[in-house]
Each structure stands twice: as C-alpha cells, then as structure tokens.
Amino acid sequence: MNLFSTKTTTIFGAAVLALSLIGCGVIDGNETNHSSSASIEGSSSSSGGGGYSSVGAEEGPNIGACIDADVKIGNQTWKKCNLNVMPSGDNGAATFSWCYFDKEEYCDAYGRLYDWATAMALPENCGKNSCADKINTPHQGLCPDGYHIPSNDDWKELFLFVDDAKGVNDGNALGLLMWTEATQHLKATEGWENCGTAARDVYECLDTYGFSALPGGHTPFSTDEVEFYHAEMYGYWWSADEKYNTLQENTKIKEAYNAYIPGTASPIMMGGAIKFDGFSVRCIKDN
C-alpha cells in the first residue's frame, strides 16, 4: 500500500486517506524516489528548492504524442487529448505548469500538469482564496476558444453516460461521488500500466467511446521541492468548481474539485484537492 508524502498536506482529504493513493516514492514495495538539480519545466513552479523527485518511468512515456481531435459522447463533445499549452500569464494569471519528470515527451503524450489557478487562467492568489466571483459559466480558462474547463456537472454527465451501472455509488461512507463501472470505458487502449483482464474487468482499457483518458500523474503541493507521482498509473483532471472543505477549516477555501480515473480496480471518483496540486486538464466544447 502506498503511503503519503510527508511533504504533502491534504491531497484528496478523506478520499485519498481512505484509499492511500498518493505515494511517497514507494511503488510495489520498491523505493523509486529520484532527486535531481534540473530546472523545473514550465514558466513558474511552486517549488522552493529548485529540484524535483519523481515516481514513474524515468526513461520516458511508453506512448507517442497525442493527436488531438474532438470526440462526441452522448450530448457532449470533448477534446481527445489532455491540454498541453504553456500558460501566458496574460492579465496577471498564474503560470504554474510542469511536464512530468521534466520531459517534453510526457507533455506531448499526457499533456501538461497545471495548478488550479493556472488552468483557470486566474490570479495566483486564487490558489489560496476563494475566487467564486471570478468563475464564469462556462469558464474557458486555458482551453481554446469555444471550449471550457469542465464543471462538476460536465464530469458527472460523462461518467453517468458511460457507467454500466448507470448510477452513482451513494453508499460510500465518506460521501464521495463514485462510478464503479465507468473506468474501463474511458481509459485509452495504450499508455496505462495496468491494462487487461484482472480480478475485475475495470482493469481493462476499452476506450469504448473514444475519450482516451491518459494517466498523466500529478504533482502534489509542496513548499520544498516539486515531486511527480503516478504517470502511466493514475489520471487526475481539474474541475472548474471550487470545494469548500467543512471538515478542515484551514483548507476551507484552498480546494477545488477534480476527477480521478485509476489504473486499478478502484472506481472513478470526484473529490477535492489543494488548488496548488498539479493535475491534467481536459477541455469540453461549449454548448
């Protein structure tokens, strides 16, 4: 079971604590935490140390560059690739973004990782404060014209459409939103460490609807150094909606929702994460 990084404050709140999804450099019992003095990819970084450590495939991604296109699923039209644009910082917007393991090949294949304020093209202080008055409906953020950062409702509509069970598992004691039979239908046929029939068929990578979800991993918030985890294993995507954590008052206005697609038998989930975490972005077309 993976353990929490000691440098990481709340990642998914109770959700991640329950499932132990965030690693501290231990995968399958082998320590794989690497340090480097290389510069961090991107125009800015939340790192104070100037180095990075990583859990993942050091030799680079196991797939080629993603070829973007639109894919229609139900009444929605999504971009087929994770967003891979450098933030410009126009109008004082945040510019925190990274390529996994400081490798452009990861950006080409899995897209860039962004903190929430950068993805939303909002000022940096939106990472630690509520910016509800600055969120549009829909909210374009870094997405191209005619597209927007998906809201919770956008994600829920997608998951419900592809979920064989056609419903949310509302029996979860933590009150998380979970879709138990949607995972295999959204995962790309390549690019995941776990693809193929296992104990449960959610290990399969069927890409039934052409969404081609790719596991770009993530970089958790750190005041010390930038760390990367779980590329080719897990995918995390921002929602445009903020999350107010009433269980931990000190993080009440520092979280936003995100969608999580696992490479294991776990269900798709939606939960909250610190806005300074680095996640993928998948754009959806405006109605």
What is the per-residue pLDDT across 48-58, written as a single tens digit (0 to 9) for each?
223 334 445 55
Q: Cα–Cα distance between 287 and 272 in angstroms, integer?
A: 26
pTM of the model: 0.76
Token look-up 């950062």 returns 149
pLDDT at 275 (0 to 100): 93
Average the pLDDT over each of 101-105, 140-144, 209-213 and give the range with the smallest value.
Answer: 101-105
Give the confidence band of 32 by pLDDT, cuts at 50, 70, 90: very low
Contact 39, 225 (CB under 8 A): no
Contact 243, 257 (CB under 8 A): yes
pLDDT at 171 (0 to 100): 41
Task: Give yes or no for residue 136 having a pLDDT over 50.
Answer: yes
Strand arrangement of the beta sheet that strand 52-54 belongs to: 34-36, 52-54, 226-228
Average the pLDDT over each of 22-26, 49-53, 121-125, 196-200 and give the range with the smallest value.
Answer: 22-26
Establish whether the linkage from the previous residue to 123 is cis, with ω within 30° of 0. Answer: no
Token look-up 């903020």 returns 242
Residue type present at position 144:
P
Structure tokens at 165: 């069970």
Task: Give yes or no for residue 8 having a pLDDT over 60.
Answer: no
Structure tokens at 114: 């962004």
Nearest to 232 by CA among 63, 14, 45, 40: 63
Average the pLDDT over each of 18-32, 187-201, 256-270 and give the range with the smallest value.
Answer: 18-32
Task: Tell me what the pLDDT averaged over the chain comes to.
Answer: 74
Domain residue limits, the chain: 68-216+234-285
